[in-house]
Amino acid sequence: MKRALIIDDEPLARMVVLEYLQDFKDQIEVLQECGDGFEGLKAIQQLQPDLVFLDVQMPKINGFEMLELVDSPPAVIFATAFDEYAIKAFEAHAVDYLLKPFSKERFNKAIEKYLAISPAAVITKNTETLLEAAAQSPAQNERIVVKTGTKVKIIAVQDVEYLQADDDYVSVVTAEGAFLKNKTMAFFEKTLDPGQFVRVHRSYIVAISQITRLDPYEKDSHLAILKSGAKIPVSKTGYVKLKQVLGI
């Protein structure tokens, strides 16, 4: 028996999934319905479901942002209205995606596909690559969603001063403090707007708008002084990149 969650902010949309799932009563059990990403996140962490039916556009945090916060994401079947950016991501990596409104036949196909490729490890990996692909879409890189304790914090990208590598995490530094995100520097370097953020060092990505001064420091390297007073090391190659973006 597989255990499933339905996460969608529209009650009627959840009902369609519930109704269609009647035929799979013996294989799939619905644990809970959730009306937004916060509820969804809590339910996933507590109940550890095998499968999640997920809408993308939801209040506060969207489906992708919610998945990013889950430690080991379950298999995901997206059910969403047209979203041109997300579709590419779905095609490559989700178990399946359903475009609303979807037929019973199409739904059955998605479920059968899921039941056929069950080994959990494969699915988790798929969901992770899916998130990376989704993060390329413009809507995704305007903000960064992080967990602080049990709370979810939404950071607007323009509030970010710099990012610093921190073991397996990246520390996102804002005026309010530093927040850990379970992503790599390479991920942020790829997804953040290269006109606004430059990787100036192996362990640092800095927001250009925050830099007030560049001071020479030791041989071949520099220090970037930020508005907040923070001093960020700039490597030789980082300095070249920075000069390019600043046009000097």
Partner 1 sequence: MAASQLSTSKLFTAFAICGVVWAALQGYIIHSFGFVWLTSVIDAVLSAVLLAIACWLINNNLRYYQPDKESYFYLFIWCAALAIACVAGCRYILPLFNLGQVYFNFLQQSLEIRFFTTFLALGWMAMISALWYTQLDHKRTEQRKTEAEKLARDAELYNLRQQLQPHFLFNSLNSINALIGFKPELARKMIHQLSDFLRGTLKKDEQLLVPLNDELAHLNLYLEIEKVRFGHRLQTEISCDKACGEAMLPSLLLQPLVENAIKFGLYDTTDAVTISVRAEVEDQYLVIMIQNPYDPKTSRPRKGTGFGLSGVQRRLYLIFARNDLMETHANDNIFTTIIKVPQL
- In the complex, the residues that contact partner 1 under the rule CB under 8 A are 9-13, 15-16, 19, 35-36, 38-39, 57-60, 81-83, 99-102, 142-143, 154, 156, 158
**31 versus 99: smaller Cβ distance to partner 1:** 99
Q: Based on the number of CB atoms within 10 Å of its own CB, is 184 exposed (0-12), middle (13-18) or buried (19 or more)?
A: middle
Closest approach, Cβ 11 to partner 1, in A, equals 5
By beta-carbon proximity to partner 1, the closer residue of 103 and 212 is 103
Nearest approach, Cβ of 79 to partner 1 (angstroms)?
9
Inter-axis angle of helices 104-116 and 11-21, nearest 10: 70
CA 33 – CA 194 distance, rounded (Å):
39
Give, in degrees to the nearest 5, the angle at Cα 224 between 191 and 204. Answer: 35
Residue 196 burial (10 A CB sphere; 0-12, 13-18, 19+):
middle
Cβ-based nearer residue to partner 1, 158 or 212: 158
Nearer to partner 1, 70 or 232 (CB): 70
Question: Cβ closer to partner 1: 124 or 137?
Answer: 137
CB of 151 to partner 1, least distance (A): 12
Q: Provide, rounded to whole angstroms, the least separation between the CB of residue 83 and partner 1.
A: 8
CB nearer partner 1, residue 7 or residue 123: 7
Provide Rg for the chain, Cα atoms: 21
In the complex, the smallest distance separating the C-beta of residue 153 from partner 1, rounded to whole angstroms, is 9
* Minimum CB distance to partner 1, residue 222 (Å): 31
Instruction: For residue 204, list its beta bridge partners.
Output: 164, 201
